[in-house]
Chain A
């Protein structure tokens, strides 16, 4: 839970689709079908600004697909959604990122034949040197590049990747790639960060430091929406939890509420008998 004195979630009814005091993201009737399968069917959801919201649910619930729709990496069959009040359903993926909505991928997308530091630098926005006309003239972008590099180095240190600075990203381990992708997304300095299973494959010692970092993002005024199966993480850092099952949002509420919710338990047990729900209860 948050340490803030004023809790924006105070007094909210924990029901699916409940209105938030200051939503940064609002989605309505979003549907995505794959043939006969309705992968996502969300009636209404609001994500509170400057909070940490967890999106949980059994495998195949539609969490990743919903992320893809919101960031326009996939096209919805129907529905509308708005980020900061701006309709987003017609926006292209790179524009969504520029508007302040940056996501990571469940299956990491490290740029193998770029070095770790180059991966990081790529994330910075508004680079003068990314314009064809200024690119050939190094003196026009050298200072900015130096500033970007020092910001990248600070993040790499935070993510315990500084010793890999000049290695090709393709030589990183699975967990290191996850870390690199998250660090790279932060280089964009987005208003809202969407993380798809950021802790999968990350070692427990580092996990704690990353959790602190995610909390730090909130302290900086950013909004975090993350998908995670690790219930310890969900409990420790999220202010609000949204539960998806079979494409729909079946429950939302503060983390304490979700553990005791019968529908949630049913969804997990019904969909996957052998899922470890000890952590939920």
Chain B
């Protein structure tokens, strides 16, 4: 049991939690503050992930040199999505973003550019250089109760949490400002914002770019941490889990994505670890007609789905949301 809890605690602050947290910080800017229905956060994450892996593996770039690539490529992706759709009704953005994210995933999966993208296997040989950037104090990695964290993962976690801190402070400082006030007014009623002289299109575009770039760093951390940039990491469920995290933590709250991601990945890792323990054939075991080691991961998603449904019913404002604020009609 202590191993299970230990695993779960590590899950709450591990690579996936960080990556999804960053994606959720970006999505919170889009959806939580501006009301933009971006259903393609997986696409932004994919852009960020491949923007790191491709230059390192194909052209021998250093990790640090890929940072501008992450920023520029995801910003360009946001502009491409936003220019045709942000003047239209909000549902168009939803359709275009979900389609664009899928197109990107299929593009990197095609065998045609296998030399550059690695096709369905992805890019798996780019971490040697990153290994060399590990600072001395992490030479031993660290241990988290019963989980031993390797120096490499420890280093990615340090970088990841630094990014989470950086972007959270940035979002916090922006959202308390008059700039953030304009975003929130657009979320409430675009025409009201327009009637007061606000250039709604420009603000929505800036929001899409900002949240997209933050999401791209989430993808970058995921790829670096997994030592692999593969299309399977960026399926549409990436976007939907990110939404779940934003809702769980509280929509339009700075700490929402952090709390949401940690709780979400704690639950996932906990049930994973527990169900694995209960189906491994030693000690306590669930009867095999309920589940066995080959199918418990399905049950994990059923538990998570049921939990989210309960949350939405009993605490629609999320864990940190303001119930009063969420109770008003958006229309």
Contact = CB atoms under 8 A, between A and B. Distances in A.
B182 A130 contact: yes
Question: What are the 8 A-B residue pairs with the smallest beta carbon separation, nearest first?
Answer: A170-B328, A129-B178, A135-B179, A97-B197, A135-B177, A109-B192, A111-B188, A136-B173
Nearest to B196: A123
Interface bracket on A = 35 or more
A141 interface: yes
A208 interface: no
B256 to A, nearest CB: 15
B178 A135 contact: yes
Interface of B: 170, 173-174, 176-182, 184-185, 187-189, 191-200, 206, 324-330
Given A123-B196, A170-B328, A109 B178 contact: no
A222 interface: no
Contact of B196 (A102, A128, A170): A102
A199 to B, nearest CB: 19
A137 B174 CA distance: 9
Contacts of A185: 195-196
Interface string A129-160: 11110011110010001000000000000000
A44 interface: no
Interface string A185-203: 1011000000000000000
B116 to A, nearest CB: 34
A103 B170 contact: no
B185 A170 contact: no
In the complex, which of the residues A93, A102, A128 has the most CB atoms of chain B within 10 Å of its own CB atom? A93
Contact of B206 (A112, A114, A132): A132
A244 to B, nearest CB: 21
A104 interface: yes
B324 A168 contact: yes
Contacts of A125: 196-197
A239 B194 CA distance: 29
Interface of B is mostly: helix
Interface of A: 71, 73, 92-95, 97-98, 102-105, 109-114, 118, 121-123, 125, 127-132, 135-138, 141, 145, 168, 170-171, 181, 184-185, 187-188
Contact of B178 (A92, A104, A121, A188): A121
B318 to A, nearest CB: 14
A135 B324 CA distance: 27
Given A129-B177, A136-B173, A93 B195 contact: yes
A94 B173 contact: no
B178 A94 contact: no
Contact of B181 (A73, A105, A122): A122
27 contacts: A73-B194, A92-B194, A93-B194, A94-B194, A94-B198, A97-B195, A97-B197, A104-B195, A110-B189, A111-B192, A113-B187, A113-B325, A114-B181, A121-B181, A122-B182, A123-B196, A128-B178, A129-B177, A129-B179, A130-B179, A132-B179, A132-B206, A135-B178, A168-B324, A170-B329, A181-B192, A188-B196
